[in-house]
Homo-oligomer: A and B are copies of this chain.
């Protein structure tokens, strides 16, 4: 399944990055541009290691620690959010609009989705009692199409990497 982010969205994200970097007085290096471009163009929320391996194809000297440093820097700039749960390592998301996640418990696939009814929901009082609220997100877990076709049921298989 090939899925690429819409061209105009990618362009917009790249411009946002350049503007934010300039504003923050941060240099736009080849490495940073490649890393951001990769995430901004992904629908599957890659982790540091996946990003590293993909970028290395075009940029063989890049190092994993640069990937990590860039990821956190981009998060600090507000251009990325980190996602991910439980056994998985951290993964990143360049979609800053209100959206929700579908996560496959077998292979770790994560997909964004939006839904008007969910977006219209307000934060319930039961949550408000704990403090001020910043974001509201639905996490749906299930088994993705691919995994439904494959293995009937694995034993206590530990979740695999990003996909």
A residues adjacent to B (C-beta < 8 A): 72, 76, 82-87, 90, 100, 102, 104-105, 109, 111, 113-115, 117-118, 121, 123-127, 129-145, 147-148, 156
Give the copy number: 2
Closest to A109 in B: B130
Residues from chain B with Cβ under 8 Å of A105 in the complex: 134
Q: CA separation between A97 and B80, bound complex, in Å? A: 32
From the candidates B124, B131, B136, name the one contacting A148 in the complex (CB within 8 A). B131
Of A87, A114, A123, A138, chain B has the most CB atoms within 10 Å of the CB of: A138
A104 pairs with B131, CB closer than 8 A:
yes
Q: CA separation between A131 and B108, bound complex, in Å? A: 13
Contact of A132 among B84, B86, B143 (CB under 8 A): B143
A-B contact pairs, 27 of them (CB 8 A): A82-B87, A83-B86, A84-B86, A86-B90, A100-B127, A102-B130, A104-B131, A113-B126, A113-B127, A115-B124, A118-B121, A118-B124, A123-B140, A127-B140, A127-B142, A130-B144, A130-B145, A131-B148, A132-B143, A133-B140, A133-B141, A134-B141, A134-B142, A135-B141, A137-B141, A138-B138, A139-B139
